[in-house]
Structure 1
């Protein structure tokens, strides 16, 4: 990954945020 690592970082953050949000929803329901 040379030249545009920012794109990969952004995608990783988006996926991570989605996982965190899903986890928060599960904890909230429980």
Structure 2
């Protein structure tokens, strides 16, 4: 059960970090 969760964390963590880094720029564009 925990292996899929680990895979999701590995896949989502980088996307989450990139999203938070780009968030201020997205707000400025909007």
**How far did 1:17 drift?**
1.1
Instruction: Give me the CA root mean square deviation.
Output: 1.2
Tell me the TM-score normalised to structure 1 length.
0.52
Unmatched 5+ residue regions in structure 1? Answer: none
Unmatched 5+ residue regions in structure 2? Answer: 26-30
Count how many residue pairs are aligned between Structure 1 and Structure 2: 25
**How far did 1:19 drift?**
1.1
Deviations 1:1-30 (A, max 9, x none): xxxx211110101111111101011114x1
